[in-house]
Chain A
Amino acid sequence: MWWRCWARSILLPPNLTADFRDIQKKPDMSQSSLATPRLIPEALRQKIEGYIPRYPSKKAVTLPALHMVHSHFRCVPYQAMKEIAEILEISPAEVADTMSFYGFFPQAPLGDVRVWICRSISCMLRGGDELLEHACRHLKIEPGQTSADGKLTVEFAECLGVCDHAPAALADDGRVYGPLDEAGVEKMLEELRKGPVPPEEL
Chain B
Amino acid sequence: MATIIIDGQNYELPEGAKFNAIQAARHFGIEIPYYCWHPALSVVANCRMCEIEVGTRDSATGEIKMLPRVVPGCQTPARDGTVLVTNSKKVLDHRKNIMELLLINHPLDCPVCDQAGECGLQDYSYSHGRAEHRFVEERNVKPRKDMSELVVLNTDRCIMCTRCVRFTREITGTAELQVMRRGDHGEIAIFPDQPLDNPLAGNVVDLCPVGALLDKDFLHNQRVWFLSKHEGICTGCASGCNISSEENAGRVWRHKPRHNPYVNDYWICDEGRYSYKAANDPNLLGGLYILDGKDHHEVPSERFFHRLTEDLTYRILDKQSILGVLSPYLSLEEAYSAAALVKQLTNRSSLALGPVPVVGADQTFAPDKSAGRSGDTSFLTPRPFTISAEKAPNRRGVELVIEHFEKQVTGLDDALARPDSPEIVMVFGGSTDAAWLTGDQVAAIRRAQRVVLFDTTINALADQADYVAGVATFAEKAGSYVNRNDRLQRFDAALAPREGVLPLLDVLAVLRGTGRAPIESRSVLAEAASKIVALAAAKGGEIPEFGLNLKGKDVPVPDAGFQDDWTLANLASV
> Which B171-196 residues sit within 8 Å CB-CB of chain A?
174-182, 189-192, 194
B286 touches A6 (CB 8 A): yes
Residue B12 lies at the interface, judged by CB distance under 8 Å to chain A: no
B434 touches A6 (CB 8 A): no
A5 touches B457 (CB 8 A): no
Q: Which of A6, A8, A24 contacts B197 (CB 8 A)?
A: A24
If A3-B301, A100-B180, A100-B181 touch, whether A29 touches B194 (CB-CB below 8 Å) is yes
Residue B520 lies at the interface, judged by CB distance under 8 Å to chain A: no
Q: CB-CB < 8 A to B199: which residues of A?
A: 24
Q: Which of B180, B282, B300 contacts A96 (CB 8 A)?
A: B180
- Roughly how many angstroms separate A17 CA and B235 CA in the complex, as a whole number? 11
10 A–B contacts from the bound complex (CB under 8 Å): A3-B301, A4-B287, A5-B298, A5-B500, A6-B298, A8-B458, A11-B458, A12-B434, A93-B178, A94-B169
> Which A11-46 residues sit within 8 Å CB-CB of chain B?
11-13, 15-18, 20-21, 23-24, 26-27, 29
Residue B236 lies at the interface, judged by CB distance under 8 Å to chain A: yes
> Which B234-275 residues sit within 8 Å CB-CB of chain A?
236, 270-271, 274-275
- Roughly how many angstroms separate A15 CA and B298 CA in the complex, as a whole number? 25
Residue A191 lies at the interface, judged by CB distance under 8 Å to chain B: no
Distance in Å: Cβ of B35 to nearest Cβ of chain A: 20
Q: Which of A16, A91, A96, A97 contacts B278 (CB 8 A)?
A: A16
Nearest 9 pairs of A and B residues by beta carbon: A4-B500, A97-B178, A13-B283, A91-B175, A93-B178, A93-B191, A92-B191, A6-B287, A16-B277
Q: Which of A17, A78, A92, A94 contacts B432 (CB 8 A)?
A: A17
Q: CB-CB < 8 A to A185: which residues of B?
A: none
Residue A101 lies at the interface, judged by CB distance under 8 Å to chain B: yes
Residue A90 lies at the interface, judged by CB distance under 8 Å to chain B: yes
Q: CB-CB < 8 A to B432: which residues of A?
A: 15-17
B: residues with CB less than 8 A from A are 149, 169, 174-182, 189-192, 194, 197-199, 236, 270-271, 274-275, 277-278, 281-289, 298-301, 359, 432-435, 457-460, 463, 470, 499-500, 502
Residue A10 lies at the interface, judged by CB distance under 8 Å to chain B: yes
A6 touches B470 (CB 8 A): yes
A97 touches B197 (CB 8 A): no
- Complex: chain B residue closest to A82, CB-CB: B191
Q: Which of A1, A17, A93 contacts B176 (CB 8 A)?
A: A93
Q: Count chain A CB atoms within 10 A of each CB in B192, B198, B459 and give the residue with the most.
A: B192
Distance in Å: Cβ of A155 to nearest Cβ of chain B: 16
Residue A113 lies at the interface, judged by CB distance under 8 Å to chain B: no
A17 touches B275 (CB 8 A): yes
If A6-B285, A6-B287, A101-B182 touch, whether A13 touches B502 (CB-CB below 8 Å) is no
Q: Count chain B CB atoms within 10 A of each CB in A9, A10, A97 and give the residue with the most.
A: A97
B197 touches A91 (CB 8 A): no
Distance in Å: Cβ of B378 to nearest Cβ of chain A: 21
Q: Which of A9, A21, A78 contacts B191 (CB 8 A)?
A: A78
A17 touches B271 (CB 8 A): yes
Extra contacts, 20 of them, besides A2-B301, A2-B502, A91-B191 (Cβ < 8 A), are: A1-B300, A1-B500, A9-B283, A10-B463, A11-B283, A13-B281, A13-B457, A16-B277, A16-B281, A16-B432, A18-B433, A20-B270, A20-B271, A24-B270, A29-B194, A82-B191, A93-B190, A94-B175, A96-B180, A96-B189
A: residues with CB less than 8 A from B are 1-6, 8-13, 15-18, 20-21, 23-24, 26-27, 29, 78, 81-82, 90-94, 96-97, 100-101
Distance in Å: Cβ of B66 to nearest Cβ of chain A: 36
- Complex: chain B residue closest to A15, CB-CB: B433
B177 touches A93 (CB 8 A): yes
B287 touches A81 (CB 8 A): no
- Roughly how many angstroms separate A94 CA and B271 CA in the complex, as a whole number? 26
If A10-B463, A20-B277 touch, whether A90 touches B175 (CB-CB below 8 Å) is yes
- Complex: chain A residue closest to B275, CB-CB: A17
- Complex: chain A residue closest to B178, CB-CB: A97
- Roughly how many angstroms separate A18 CA and B278 CA in the complex, as a whole number? 11
- Roughly how many angstroms separate A101 CA and B180 CA in the complex, as a whole number? 7
A81 touches B191 (CB 8 A): yes
A17 touches B191 (CB 8 A): no
- Roughly how many angstroms separate A5 CA and B180 CA in the complex, as a whole number? 57
Q: CB-CB < 8 A to A17: which residues of B?
A: 236, 271, 275, 277-278, 432-433
Q: CB-CB < 8 A to B174: which residues of A?
A: 91
- Complex: chain A residue closest to B276, CB-CB: A16
Q: CB-CB < 8 A to A96: which residues of B?
A: 178, 180, 189, 191
Distance in Å: Cβ of A79 to nearest Cβ of chain B: 10
Distance in Å: Cβ of B500 to nearest Cβ of chain A: 3
Q: Which of B179, B283, B459 contacts A8 (CB 8 A)?
A: B283
B194 touches A92 (CB 8 A): yes
Distance in Å: Cβ of B446 to nearest Cβ of chain A: 16
Distance in Å: Cβ of A50 to nearest Cβ of chain B: 25
Distance in Å: Cβ of A17 to nearest Cβ of chain B: 6
B500 touches A3 (CB 8 A): yes
Q: CB-CB < 8 A to A81: which residues of B?
A: 191
Q: CB-CB < 8 A to B271: which residues of A?
A: 17, 20-21, 24
Distance in Å: Cβ of B210 to nearest Cβ of chain A: 21
